[in-house]
């Protein structure tokens, strides 16, 4: 198991940080969706912007790097859904994305 945690993905991201970001990603999506939405350009910009600013606020420790990676992935995903959702049907998102998580229930 220790052999796995020493490896890096893509030339720079350690496996343990990648796994940590994978665990935080759905938590951040759920926490931020009521405030900035999910799957649209605005939510992507806010999340990606937060990822870029985070090291200036929190330093460069392991938890900050994990949080930055999770926010960056969520933000990039939201931007692509918002920008390409209407063009590429498999991506979804686009004009249907909304900050109201209960819009489909009405």
Q: For residue range 4-45, what is the model confidence (pLDDT) as tens digits?
A: 666 777 778 888 899 999 999 999 989 999 999 888 899 999
Is 93 contained in some domain?
A: no
Is 65 contained in some domain?
A: yes
Is 8 contained in some domain?
A: no
Kindly state the average pLDDT of the residues 60-74. 93
Structural domain boundaries, residue 39: 13-83
Kindly state the average pLDDT of the residues 76-104. 66
Percentage above 70 pLDDT, the chain: 75
CA distances from 52 to 28, 56, 64 (A): 15, 8, 11
* Confidence label for 97 from pLDDT (cuts 50, 70 and 90): very low
Is 7 contained in some domain?
A: no
pTM (2 d.p.): 0.74
Is 42 contained in some domain?
A: yes
Q: Mark out the alpha helices in the chain (DSSP H runs).
A: 2-5, 15-36, 41-58, 62-84
Is 27 contained in some domain?
A: yes
Query: How many residues would you count in the chain?
Result: 106
List own/partner pairs for 17-20 with CB under 8 A and 24 or more apart: 17/62, 17/65, 17/66, 17/69, 18/69, 20/66, 20/69, 20/70
Q: Domains in the chain: how many in total?
A: 1
Is 91 contained in some domain?
A: no
CA 89, chain centre distance (Å): 20
Mean pLDDT of the chain: 81
Is 53 contained in some domain?
A: yes
């Amino acid at each position: 198991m220790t052999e796995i945690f020493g490896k890096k993905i893509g030339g720079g991201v350690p496996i343990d940080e990648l796994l940590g970001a994978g665990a935080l990603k759905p938590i951040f999506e759920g926490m931020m969706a009521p405030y900035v939405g999910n799957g649209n350009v605005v939510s992507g910009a806010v999340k990606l912007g937060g990822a870029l600013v985070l090291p200036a606020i929190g330093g460069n420790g392991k938890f900050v790097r994990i949080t930055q990676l999770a926010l960056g992935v969520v933000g990039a995903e939201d931007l692509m859904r918002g920008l390409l959702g209407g063009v590429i049907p498999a991506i979804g998102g686009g004009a249907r994305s909304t900050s109201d998580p209960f819009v489909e229930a009405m």
